[in-house]
Amino acid sequence: MTQFQKGVRMSLSPNSNVMREVFVSGTGLIPFGKFPELSLGDLGWPAVREAILESGLVVEQIDAVYCGCALGGMLAGQRVMKKIGKTGMPIINVENACSSSSSALSIAWLEIASGRQDAVLVIGVEKLTKFGGGTLPLEHEDWEVRQGMVMPAIYAMRAQRYMHEFGLTERQLAEVSVKAHKHGALNPRAQITKTVTVEEVMGARKVADPFTLWHCCPTGDGAAAVLLTSKSLSTRGEAKPVRISASDVTSGVFTSGFRDMTWAELSARGAREAYEIAGIGPEDIDVAELHDAFTIAELMYYEALGFCNKGDGYGLLASGRTSLGGDCVVNPSGGLLSRGHPVGATGVAQAVEISRQLQNRAGKHQVDKAKVGLTHATGGGVAGYDHGACSIHIFEV
């Protein structure tokens, strides 16, 4: 057993008399990549259209829209929705770094669970090609950022400390990338559909020691959408509706002192809360999409989510249990490392992937007999925090 035990359902669980059940009734996703010729609205509307058509609802039945976008500028949701000719309802834009659209998903979940709305559209959209490449722009008012603490640097420091503490080798770390790209090669909507070898990963251009290019997620453009509904509207489409049994968003705890760089405290805390809401434990998860922005993150999040004990992340990877064919498959889509990480689109893209996995329609990267899935997205980039935000959702059929 890990540190996690079976949870007890909270009083605000959608299975209680207080909250309604919430379902994913439609999903939409465009291929991730680099599309400098397209606007933010151009990227977003095809995913929205796909989600609406899949749900079996008509656009007039949408009560509200929540749009997650981190770096797209003002009124991202309005810019997308005008492309499909449906405006006038509440359109709320949410920014929470890489957790932007998964935070929007959580708010939409609460809207339906509380009975306030019956059909809420959630959009995740981002256009990073407008920056022309390089690392994500962070705020220079932050003293760590002024000292050069971009995201590859901080994750590289985590990797170095983890290697020191637990004996992880660079070759073993490279195996995370190999797995991600093996999965991504089966996903036609992934940004990178090329497999790589350990030697290719280790021999690529250095980014931040011990990372080479293949240890880091690519930047790009993308969009995803899900239509959440109450139970009464969930059976209009052809696909089996997927219930969201837990939605948890929490923030990091600020400290100006020592931080254990080998332990993702925020993700572990969020996981405990999500498992308690859903009334399950990590051993019940069949498939997960987690925030593997860099290779070390996947191993650390295995541990934080309770899939193994601290320091045992590589052992779990090496066992094959998290690869396709295993009993707890992680990132069958290819994850951020292969599917790509257009920041604001990532959280909803994870929800689309897990929903389709549970509906048995993920194609060549389908996880066999998946019934319970989890999504995990963190948002970082502020001095003194493990991460600024973390959102975890649990899905069931």
Active site residues: 98
Could you tell me if 124 and 339 are in contact, meaning their C-beta atoms sit under 8 angstroms apart?
A: no
What secondary structure letter does DSSP report for 206? E
| Rg of the chain, C-alpha, whole Å | 19
Phi, psi of 88 (to 5 degrees): 100, -20
Residue 299 CB contacts under 8 Å (≥ 6 apart), including other chains: 162, 168, 173, 176, 313, 314, 317
CA distances from 9 to 83, 279, 283 (A): 41, 5, 17
Burial zone of 203 (CB within 10 Å; 0-12 exposed, 13-18 middle, 19+ buried): exposed
CA distances from 289 to 202, 233, 244, 336, 353 (A): 25, 26, 15, 9, 8
User: DSSP E strands: which ranges in the chain?
Assistant: 23-29, 64-68, 91-94, 119-127, 206-208, 211-212, 221-229, 242-251, 287-289, 329-330, 372-379, 389-396
d(CA 240, CA 230): 14
Burial zone of 73 (CB within 10 Å; 0-12 exposed, 13-18 middle, 19+ buried): exposed
Burial zone of 88 (CB within 10 Å; 0-12 exposed, 13-18 middle, 19+ buried): exposed
SS3 102: helix
